[in-house]
């Protein structure tokens, strides 16, 4: 059963996070390479993604963003809109949200545990505490840099924006945030990830993609900083 769940997680992550950036990037390659080469590149891309913790999807999104920023006609689209004077407002909102959601999450965790339910950390959290120094740095990059850029592009720019064409903005925000929450496969963090998704949909509409990335970056940065502190504290206690 555990093996099936692990496979389901990997397949879900590949389909939702890795495939969409490839579809967008593929448009840039269609005129330069033939279908066979495209197919081989796709296979290599998917296999490499499995062993690099979404490094390649992040790089594809990074390249896409560079290309879009060079297009003057898209300069002020939601994807490329600069934060400008709004950056301080976004940072303040992000810090306030992280503080509030941390308190609520801790409270929910205490309540759940009081009923005898054993809470499980996210997979990346377990990997973090078991990792050596080099792997800890790598996992920190994944959480703080790769995840915000990649996940906000997929969930807000592709999924949320696409759903807005079919349903109301509120429903699109709820559906995309629910999917965002489910992809993290963790009960205790479900409220935090769902709320983060909702707020970032609002940020995407009001300030643009970059604001959603900043909010996600601050959220993950503080989480990572806490994990590093706990990890170092545990080592020191052991000594």
Q: What angle do CA 125, 181, 216 make, to 5 degrees?
A: 70
Structural element, H or E, at residue 207? none
Q: Is the pTM of this model over 0.85?
A: yes
Query: What is the rounded CA–CA span in Å between residue 91 and residue 47?
Result: 36
Q: Residue 126: is it exposed, middle or buried by C-beta count within 10 angstroms (0-12/13-18/19+)?
A: exposed
Query: 35 Cβ partners below 8 Å, 6+ apart?
Result: none
pLDDT along the chain (239 residues), means of 10: 74 92 89 87 92 90 90 72 91 95 88 76 74 87 95 97 96 97 86 96 96 97 89 56
pLDDT computed for residue 237 by the predictor: 36
pLDDT on residue 107: 87
Per-residue model confidence (pLDDT) at position 119: 67
Distance, CA of 203 to CA of 151 (rounded, Å) = 14
Closest CA to 226 of 199, 196, 189, 184: 189
d(CA 29, CA 32): 5
Can you say whether residue 157 is alpha, beta or left, with left for phi > 0 and alpha for psi between -120 and 50 degrees?
A: alpha
Per-residue model confidence (pLDDT) at position 27: 86
Q: How far apart are CA 200 and CA 207, in angstroms?
A: 10
Contacts by 142-145 with C-beta closer than 8 Å and gap 24+?
Answer: 142/53, 142/54, 142/55, 143/220, 143/223, 143/224, 144/217, 144/220, 144/221, 144/224, 145/58, 145/217
């Amino acid at each position: 059963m555990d093996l099936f769940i692990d496979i389901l997680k990997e397949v879900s992550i590949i389909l939702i996070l890795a495939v969409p950036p490839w579809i967008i990037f593929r448009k840039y390659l269609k005129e330069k390479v033939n279908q066979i080469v495209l197919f081989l590149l796709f296979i290599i891309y998917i296999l490499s993604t499995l062993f690099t913790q979404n490094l390649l999807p992040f790089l594809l999104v990074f390249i896409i963003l560079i290309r879009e920023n060079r297009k003057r006609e898209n300069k002020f689209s939601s994807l490329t809109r600069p934060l400008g004077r709004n950056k301080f407002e976004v940072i303040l909102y992000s810090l306030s949200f992280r503080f509030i959601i941390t308190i609520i999450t801790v409270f929910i965790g205490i309540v759940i545990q009081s009923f005898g339910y054993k809470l499980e950390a996210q997979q990346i959290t377990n990997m973090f505490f078991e990792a050596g120094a080099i792997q800890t740095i790598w996992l920190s990059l994944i959480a703080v840099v790769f995840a915000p850029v990649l996940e906000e592009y997929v969930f807000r720019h592709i999924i949320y924006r696409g759903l807005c064409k079919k349903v109301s903005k509120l429903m699109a925000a709820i559906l995309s945030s629910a999917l965002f929450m489910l992809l993290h496969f963790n009960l205790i963090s479900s409220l935090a990830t769902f709320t983060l998704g909702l707020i970032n949909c609002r940020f995407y509409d009001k300030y643009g993609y970059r604001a959603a990335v900043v909010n996600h970056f601050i959220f993950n940065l503080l989480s990572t900083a806490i994990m590093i502190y706990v990890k170092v504290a545990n080592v020191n206690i052991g000594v």
